[in-house]
Chains A and B, each alone.
Chain A
Amino acid sequence: MNVAVAKTGKGRAVSDLFTSAEGRLPGSPAVTAVRREAFETYERLGLPHRRLEEWKYTDLRALVGEVLPLAASPDAATLKRAADAVKVHAIDGARKLVLVDGVFAADLSDVKALVAEAGFKTLRETLDKDAGLLKTASIDAMIALNAAMATDGVVLSIADGAKLSAPIQIIHIATAASASAFTRSQVAVGKGARATIVETFVAAGAKAYQVNDAVLVSVGDDSDVAHIRLMDDAPDAVNVTSQFVTIGANVKFNFFNMTTGAAVSRLQGFIALAGEGSELSANGVNLLKKTEHGDTTLVVDHAVPNCVSREIFRAVVDDRGHSVFQGRIIVRPDAQKTDGKMMTRALLLSDEAEADNKPELEIFADDVSCGHGATAGALDDSLLFYLKARGLPEKQAQALLIQAFVGEAIEQIADDGLREHVIGVAERWLERRQ
């Protein structure tokens, strides 16, 4: 196949990008071969577009057009900027792992405190030996591109029975303008362990940057894991993150994502319940304004019997923002007694705001309890008037009602401190509206 013929001019730019970046991409010759193969997959598929059902509402060809060149490795000045951003966005008491423009920054991270409780390597280090982490079963173009271009990431292993005393916070900081960062990380949790992972995406002076991140999570039997993500990017950023989670038996997995920025963002989560008796709570919030486009796509795959999944998603869309929620629940033929529920609600703050909800149930077992619901609407005028009649200015009254609206999803975060942190991020978004 002659890929060049099928490509647009913009497609050529990506190809040039790979060629020029290749020298900076870590890995043995075997790894380079895997990267090249992944890049060929990407070239064949091109940027996802609306004719692909999975990307129907998020046409990256139209919204993004091209992938920007790889960001330069951070220098002293950018690390200084990143250090300031870490101060603002770090969660009190968390062990920080900081990636700056896609490169692990040891000096900004708490590696010493972390390795006392968990195994840690960078992606760069693991790629010296093998390319395993670059391989995923998916044939999604953005994931293939991530495998081809990933410069770094964190590789965490939490031993059987380990109970982490503090959350681990992975902070992705963009400092470069008009450049891309590609990261790939792994979190492997053993059996009977307890851990909280937070991922934060922010900018430190960066403009019009792109992020392509992939995270591979595995959770062993009888573990209790919380995974909280905050996509708090600059307003002109692009962030596409892919998340693969495999959950063992009798696990409690608490997943939450909140998007509060980026011109174009997509979180695509693929969560497989692979052991019986597990409970998944997967929740999310999109807070969008201006012309921001935020897509949360969750695929929950019940592969075995007797698991429970609960999904609560809330979108708040102002101005000409566009929120997308695609929630698919798959119940495999063996997955009897599955209990899967999904509820998504959108709050539209302007006449031009748009929210698309696409719930999909694919049920192949006959003894299950599954359901979904979706609503979209404006703020209730009678509630707004009540609050204004009590002295709250319009925007403040709206803010209170918006907080209540997203609260139902945020409340699903079990940890008090993290919940407060997330509420704080949502409040900052609301303040920016006022």
Chain B
Amino acid sequence: MHHLNKLDTKMALLEVKDLKVRVEEREILHGLTLTVNEGEIHAIMGPNGSGKSTLSHVIAGKPGYEVTDGQILFKGEDLLEMEPNERAAKGVFLAFQYPVEIPGVATMNFLRTALNAQRKARGEDEYSTPDFLKKVREVSKSLNIPQDMLKRGVNVGFSGGEKKRNEVLQMALFEPSLCILDEMDSGLDIDALRIAADGVNALRSPKRSMVVITHYQRLLNYIVPDVVHVMSKGRVVKSGGKELALELEASGYAQFEDAA
């Protein structure tokens, strides 16, 4: 029985403890606590201004946020002590709500540089060019990404759907253990959303956790979460199973705004 018990006890991958964050003197997160275990998919829902994107930015290490209290542990290590690139090498991946366009940096060059930088930071061998090309080809084929897209500048001239697919491509390539999807559905029509969600679902694995941040329940029809959290005014105000998302869809966020 001891053996079975051990299987049931999931490892905490991400632990956010009583996190307080300020932006320019204004507190956005007022003591947020959240634990994501290995292999779980968590959805974070909430109205605009509830602090969802702030949480994703602070986990990824975006400058401009001041953590005044609390901590974030990733695989037991203090994430806040690390540079954004160190977090990436440890396995944190933020899929941006608005992926930036980088003119003059070819997508292929970017992907290879990033992947090898992460491998180097972990003390792994860097990919040779042929091995890398093979890997990109495999991954992009499985995501229906045309090779032509990879020759262009990073996200330059990409549609909203192409930009999100490029994020999923990177997720597949870098093989992170934690994926944070920040408003992945914003700016996507239903077809583009389905393609991106299919890509994400293909990456579900017992070794990979995901935090899906969204305003709408719609995305969660495609990426079905294990746990749903409701954020309001900088705190998690309610957590539950996937049915909580449906409940929210029916009744809206107003009840929680009062609760917070």
What residues of chain A have their CB less than 8 Å away from a CB belonging to chain B? Answer: 380-383, 385-394, 396-397, 400-401, 403-405, 407-408
* Chain B residues in 8 Å Cβ range of A381: 63
- 0/1 per residue, B101-117, Cβ < 8 Å to A? 01111000110011101
Candidates B89, B100, B110, B121; contact of A400 at CB < 8 Å: B110
Which residue on chain B has the smallest CB distance to residue A411?
A: B104
Q: Is the CB of A389 within 8 A of B94?
A: yes
Q: Is the CB of B84 within 8 A of A389?
A: yes
Complex interface residues of chain B between 81 and 139 (CB less than 8 A to chain A): 83-85, 87-89, 94, 96, 99-100, 102-105, 109-110, 113-115, 117-118, 121
Q: Is the CB of A392 within 8 A of B85?
A: yes
What distance in Å separates the Cβ of A90 from its nearest Cβ neighbour in chain B?
25
* Chain A residues in 8 Å Cβ range of B94: 389
Candidates B62, B100, B114; contact of A391 at CB < 8 Å: B114
Candidates A383, A392, A396; contact of B100 at CB < 8 Å: A383
* Chain B residues in 8 Å Cβ range of A408: 104
Q: Is the CB of A388 within 8 A of B83?
A: yes
Which residue on chain B has the smallest CB distance to residue A400?
A: B105
* Distance A393 CA – B60 CA, assembled complex (angstroms): 14
- 0/1 per residue, B154-178, Cβ < 8 Å to A? 0000000000000000100010000
- Is B61 among interface residues, defined by CB-CB distance under 8 A? yes
* Chain A residues in 8 Å Cβ range of B153: 404
Instruction: Choose among B85, B96, B99, B110 the residue with the greatest number of A CB atoms under 10 Å from its CB.
Output: B85
Q: Is the CB of A386 within 8 A of B96?
A: yes
9 further contact pairs, Cβ within 8 A, besides A380-B100, A387-B102:
A387-B114, A390-B85, A392-B117, A393-B117, A397-B85, A400-B105, A403-B105, A404-B103, A408-B104
Which residue on chain A has the smallest CB distance to residue B101?
A: A383
Q: Is the CB of B100 within 8 A of A393?
A: no
B contact face: mostly helix, strand, loop, or mixed: helix
Candidates B60, B102, B105; contact of A389 at CB < 8 Å: B60
What distance in Å separates the Cβ of A401 from its nearest Cβ neighbour in chain B?
7
Q: Is the CB of A391 within 8 A of B115?
A: yes
* Distance A400 CA – B100 CA, assembled complex (angstroms): 14
* Distance A380 CA – B87 CA, assembled complex (angstroms): 21
* Distance A103 CA – B85 CA, assembled complex (angstroms): 50
* Distance A383 CA – B121 CA, assembled complex (angstroms): 21
Candidates A380, A394, A401; contact of B83 at CB < 8 Å: A394
* Chain B residues in 8 Å Cβ range of A400: 105, 109-110, 113
* Chain B residues in 8 Å Cβ range of A405: 104
What distance in Å separates the Cβ of A346 from its nearest Cβ neighbour in chain B?
16
Q: Is the CB of A386 within 8 A of B117?
A: no
9 interchain residue pairs of minimum CB distance: A404-B104, A391-B118, A391-B88, A388-B84, A390-B114, A391-B117, A407-B104, A388-B85, A404-B105
What residues of chain B have their CB less than 8 Å away from a CB belonging to chain A? Answer: 60-63, 83-85, 87-89, 94, 96, 99-100, 102-105, 109-110, 113-115, 117-118, 121, 153, 170, 174
* Chain A residues in 8 Å Cβ range of B85: 388-394, 397
* Chain A residues in 8 Å Cβ range of B109: 400
Which residue on chain A has the smallest CB distance to residue B60?
A: A389
* Distance A88 CA – B241 CA, assembled complex (angstroms): 65
A contact face: mostly helix, strand, loop, or mixed: helix
* Distance A388 CA – B114 CA, assembled complex (angstroms): 9
Which residue on chain A has the smallest CB distance to residue B88?
A: A391
Ordered by A's residue number, 23 sampled pairs between the chains whose C-beta atoms are within 8 Å are: A385-B62, A385-B63, A386-B99, A387-B102, A389-B60, A389-B88, A390-B88, A390-B118, A391-B85, A391-B114, A391-B118, A391-B121, A391-B174, A392-B85, A392-B113, A393-B83, A393-B85, A394-B85, A397-B85, A400-B105, A400-B113, A405-B104, A407-B104
* Distance A225 CA – B67 CA, assembled complex (angstroms): 59
Which residue on chain B has the smallest CB distance to residue A406?
A: B104
Which residue on chain A has the smallest CB distance to residue B170?
A: A390
Which residue on chain A has the smallest CB distance to residue B109?
A: A400
* Distance A403 CA – B104 CA, assembled complex (angstroms): 8
What distance in Å separates the Cβ of B165 from its nearest Cβ neighbour in chain A?
16
* Distance A380 CA – B101 CA, assembled complex (angstroms): 11
* Distance A389 CA – B79 CA, assembled complex (angstroms): 13
Instruction: Choose among A386, A393, A400, A401 the residue with the greatest number of B CB atoms under 10 Å from its CB.
Output: A386
Q: Is the CB of A382 within 8 A of B100?
A: yes
What distance in Å separates the Cβ of A175 from its nearest Cβ neighbour in chain B?
37
* Chain A residues in 8 Å Cβ range of B110: 387, 390, 400
* Chain A residues in 8 Å Cβ range of B103: 404
* Distance A403 CA – B113 CA, assembled complex (angstroms): 13
* Chain B residues in 8 Å Cβ range of A380: 100
Which residue on chain A has the smallest CB distance to residue B119?
A: A391
Q: Is the CB of B104 within 8 A of A390?
A: no
Q: Is the CB of A401 within 8 A of B174?
A: no
* Distance A382 CA – B117 CA, assembled complex (angstroms): 19
What distance in Å separates the Cβ of A393 from its nearest Cβ neighbour in chain B?
5
* Chain B residues in 8 Å Cβ range of A386: 96, 99-100, 102
* Distance A392 CA – B100 CA, assembled complex (angstroms): 15
* Chain B residues in 8 Å Cβ range of A389: 60-62, 84-85, 87-88, 94, 96
* Distance A381 CA – B96 CA, assembled complex (angstroms): 15
* Distance A48 CA – B201 CA, assembled complex (angstroms): 68
* Chain A residues in 8 Å Cβ range of B105: 400-401, 403-404
* Chain B residues in 8 Å Cβ range of A390: 85, 88, 110, 114, 117-118, 170, 174
Assuming the contacts A382-B100, A401-B102, A408-B104, asked whether A391 and B89 have C-beta atoms less than 8 A apart, the reply is yes
What distance in Å separates the Cβ of A231 from its nearest Cβ neighbour in chain B?
23
* Chain B residues in 8 Å Cβ range of A404: 102-105, 153
What distance in Å separates the Cβ of B173 from its nearest Cβ neighbour in chain A?
10
Q: Is the CB of A392 within 8 A of B104?
A: no
* Chain A residues in 8 Å Cβ range of B89: 391
* Distance A393 CA – B100 CA, assembled complex (angstroms): 18
Which residue on chain B has the smallest CB distance to residue A392?
A: B117
Which residue on chain B has the smallest CB distance to residue A380?
A: B100
Q: Is the CB of B104 within 8 A of A396?
A: no
* Distance A382 CA – B99 CA, assembled complex (angstroms): 10
What distance in Å separates the Cβ of B21 from its nearest Cβ neighbour in chain A?
16
* Distance A431 CA – B102 CA, assembled complex (angstroms): 21
